[in-house]
Amino acid sequence: MTPRKRAAQTAEQRYRADVASYVAAGGEETVQRVITAIHGLQRRLGQWYGRQLVDLGLSQGEWAVLSRLATCDQGAALTPTQLAESASIAPSSMTHRLDRMVGRGIVSRTMDPANRTRVLVTLTTEGWDTFSAAIKESDMVESDVLSTLSTAQRAELASLLEQVIAGLDDHVAES
């Protein structure tokens, strides 16, 4: 048996043992299988994404800024406060993060022409190129991860997960 197959077998054994522990503690088996699988996928992808960010010379925090700016309404500018809120950090921490990113040339800060006391942050061309490179690299790995599923299965999985997320959002909104 190859080391990769041995590691996969060990991961599968850990998964089964984790599920069994949650069930023994009173969890419902199908629920625990789904949640444990999602958590395991998130953890493994997170490890890979972390290595990818290091290769791109980005921290997790810088990636949070880059991806938020790249995905906001058609390249709209955001304030440092908006970026801090989306990253769940203090505005002063965001200021330091933006200083580093401006120094690297991946974001720019300008005065808001409508309110000269406010600063606006946007992606530079180099920032967009960095974001694009990360997405292209990630897409290759993510496609490999999902390669065992047909297109229809991928669409069904996406739909099911979207339903779960919407239900969770509804539950949180009611709390």
The domain limits of the chain are 1-56, 60-129
Quickly name the fold that domain 60-129 has: Arc Repressor Mutant, subunit A (1.10.10)
What is the distance between the alpha carbons of residues 162 and 154, in angstroms, rounded to a whole number?
A: 12
pLDDT in tens, 112-162: 998 988 999 999 999 999 999 999 989 988 998 899 999 999 999 999 999
Residue-wise pLDDT for 26-83, tens only, equals 999 999 999 999 999 999 898 989 899 999 999 999 999 999 999 987 668 999 999 9
State the Cα–Cα distance between residues 47 and 36, nearest whole angstrom.
Answer: 17
Task: Please tell me the predicted confidence (pLDDT) of residue 174.
Answer: 82
pTM of the model: 0.75
Number of neighbours of residue 57 by Cβ within 10 angstroms: 10
Say yes or no to pLDDT of 9 above 80: no
The two tokens of residue 7 are 């590691």
Q: What is the pLDDT of residue 1?
A: 65
Predicted pLDDT at 141: 86
